[in-house]
């Protein structure tokens, strides 16, 4: 599969709107696209912070539930006739059964995406530091992709989530049953985004494991 060069690199979402008046420009959303494989991470601005935490066990039940609102997914992108189809081989949330397809328009480093199966519009802007050095490493347990000075690394959870429910619903049910271990297992998929510094260090700036932020891969 070969993605057009105009779509490769690191894209940051500036805004999403929905027909019902929904609007979000505070969630940190990054989409890193190589010539085939891609990865996407979406961290809400109100995600709980726990200074000094080293694992999920350091978070309260309420905080674990809030962490379940994070989204992230990865796979291969197909492009044709002005439409992108993001195949989700790896997904932090349970499979929804709805294809991830959007019509797109490009204006240089600006992209406007309109949902096909779900009504929304997203505005994306490409980071100029992400051109060149497109690389992807597919592993049995995950994926690592790179675009210029940025990377994303994913390690899958040990068991698949059941389709239909949201991750928050799965975590909530486990916590209500007093089963924190199952709730933590459901949250255990690791998706980390970061920057490659001039010293060659790959430093994490956002992750589904918050305590990794600021550390190097």
- Please write the tens of the pLDDT for every residue from 31-44: 999 999 999 999 99
The structure's pTM equals 0.96
C-alpha separations of 210 from 44, 70, 113 in Å: 12, 11, 29
Q: How far is CA 166 from CA 70, 91, 169, in A?
A: 11, 11, 5
Read off the pLDDT band of 2 (50, 70, 90): confident
Confidence of residue 208 (pLDDT cuts 50, 70, 90): very high
Rounded CA-CA distance 83/81 in Å is 6
**pLDDT, position 49:** 86
Is a pLDDT exceeding 90 seen at residue 176? Answer: yes
Residues 179-203, mean pLDDT to the nearest whole number:
97
Q: Are residues 80 and 4 in contact, defined by beta-carbon separation less than 8 angstroms?
A: no
Per residue in 109-143, pLDDT tens? 999 999 999 999 999 999 998 988 999 999 999 99
pLDDT at 1 over 70: no
Average pLDDT, the chain: 96
First-residue to last-residue Cα distance in the chain: 28
pLDDT, position 110: 98
H or E element, residue 73: strand 71-80
| SS3 call for 93 | coil
Query: Percentage of residues in the chain with pLDDT exceeding 70?
Result: 100
The tally of CA atoms less than 13 A away on the side-chain side of residue 36 is 9
Residues 6+ apart with CB under 8 A from 179: none
Q: Rounded distance, CA 196 to CA 209, Å?
A: 19
Q: Mean of the pLDDT values across residues 196-201?
A: 94
When pLDDT is averaged across residues 146-156 and rounded to a whole number, the result is 97
What's the pLDDT tens digit per position in 44-93? Answer: 999 998 999 999 999 999 999 999 999 999 999 999 999 999 999 999 99
Q: Strands 71-80 and 110-115, how do they pair?
A: unpaired
For 84, 199, 210, the CA distances from 101, given in Å and listed in that order, are: 6, 38, 29
Residue 183 host element (H or E): helix 180-186
């Amino acid at each position: 599969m070969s993605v057009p060069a105009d779509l490769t690199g690191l894209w940051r979402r500036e805004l999403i709107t929905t027909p019902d008046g929904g609007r979000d420009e505070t969630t940190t959303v990054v989409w890193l696209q190589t010539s085939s494989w891609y990865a996407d991470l979406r961290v809400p601005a109100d995600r709980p912070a726990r200074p000094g935490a080293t694992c999920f066990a350091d978070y309260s039940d309420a905080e674990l539930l809030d962490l379940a609102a994070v989204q992230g997914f990865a796979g291969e992108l197909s492009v044709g006739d002005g439409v992108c189809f993001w195949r989700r081989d790896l997904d932090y949330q349970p499979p929804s059964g709805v294809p991830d397809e959007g019509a797109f328009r490009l204006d240089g480093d600006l992209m406007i995406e309109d949902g096909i199966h779900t009504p929304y519009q997203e505005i994306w802007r490409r980071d100029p530091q992400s051109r060149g050095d497109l690389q992807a490493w597919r592993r049995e347990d995950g994926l690592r992709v790179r675009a210029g000075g940025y990377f994303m690394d994913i390690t899958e959870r040990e068991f698949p989530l059941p389709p239909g429910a949201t991750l928050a619903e799965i975590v909530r049910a486990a916590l209500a049953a007093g089963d924190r271990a199952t709730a933590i297992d459901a949250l255990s998929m690791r998706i980390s985004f970061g920057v490659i510094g001039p010293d060659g260090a790959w430093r994490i700036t956002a992750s589904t494991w918050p305590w990794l932020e600021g550390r190097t891969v």
